[in-house]
Structure 1
Amino acid sequence: MKKTIMISLVALILMPISMGYKIGDINHDGSVDIADVVYLFKHRNIPLDEGDVNCDNSIDIADVVYLFKNYDEMRKPVVFAETFQLEPHWDEGYCIVVDSKGNKFVLLKEGASNPNIPNAKVINIPVQKLVTIFYSPFISTADILNDTSCYDTIKGAPLYAIKNSPTLYKYYEDGKCVDIGKSSSIDYEKVTAIDPNIVFLGDWSAHDEMEEKLKELGITTSRFYTYKEPTFMGRIEWIKFAAAFWGEDKYNKTEDYFQKTWKARNNILRKVYGVQNYPTVVDFSWSKYKNLPGIYGAQHYYNKMVNNFGGEYIFNDIPGTSFQYLDKETFYERAMNADVCILRWFYGDVKTKEDLLAINPDFANFKAFKNGRFYVSHPDYYVWETKDPIGYMMDFAKMIHPELFGGDDDLKYYYKIK
Structure 2
Amino acid sequence: MLRAATVRVSRGGSAALERQLASRHLGGGRRAASRVFPGVAGRCRHREIAVVARASSSTPPPPLALGTVGFIGAGSMAEAMARGFAESGAVSPSSMRVSRSSDAARAARWTNLGVEALASNGDVARVSDVVVLAVKPHVLPGVLTEIASHVSPETLLLSVAAGVSTSFIERAVSDARGGGGSRDDDRRFSPPRVIRVMPNTPCQVRAAASSVSAGAHSSSADLDAIASLMRAVGACVVVDESLIDAVVGVRRVPSYTGPHTTPGSGPAYVYQIIEAMADGGVLCGLPRADATLLAAQTVMGAAKMVLESGEHPAALKDKVCSPGGTTIRAVAAMEAAGVRAGMIAAVRASAERSAELGRATDEAEAKATGTGKKR
Q: Mark yes or no: TM-score above 0.5.
A: no
- Could you state the TM-score of these two structures normalised by the residue count of structure 2? 0.36
Higher helix residue share: 2
- Could you state the TM-score of these two structures normalised by the residue count of structure 1? 0.33
